[in-house]
Amino acid sequence: MRQALILWHKPLIHFIGRRSWQKATQDLAPKLHPLDPHKELPSSFAAYRLKAQQHGPLVKSSGLPNAGEVIARFQLPKRFQYPVVEDLEIDIVNSGGAL
């Protein structure tokens, strides 16, 4: 419907569909930050990771939530989501109930 309203200019912006949580192939090797003005990271970064056993990033993660975990409310079953507010209801709220 919206497409029909646009005459002929095709914007450079493209919609690529709803975001999905890709299985991240986590590379634990430290890399330079894009704003780091130095040529390389101190050697301690790589050296520490070789010997360390830590919480968090050193534990290989798929990037996906664990079973039973959710990231956002919309991923919960519908009964846990916020009720949809209808226009009439918004009008009532905005008018202080004086409809």
Contact call for residues 85 and 50 (beta carbons, < 8 A): no
Whole-number minimum distance, CB 86 to other proteins, in Å? 9
∠ CA 77-16-71, rounded to 5°: 30
Residue with smaller CB distance to other proteins, 42 or 74: 42
Contacts of 29 (CB under 8 A, 6+ apart): 46, 49
- Judged by DSSP in three states, 80 sits in helix
Binding string, 42-71, against other proteins, x = CB under 8 A? x-xx--xx--x-xxxxx--xxx-----x-x
CA distance 59 to 66: 13
- 39 lies in the binding site for other proteins (CB under 8 A): no
Sites of contact with other proteins (CB under 8 A) = 9, 11-13, 21, 24, 26, 28, 30-38, 41-42, 44-45, 48-49, 52, 54-58, 61-63, 69, 71, 80, 82-83, 85, 88-89, 92-93, 97, 99
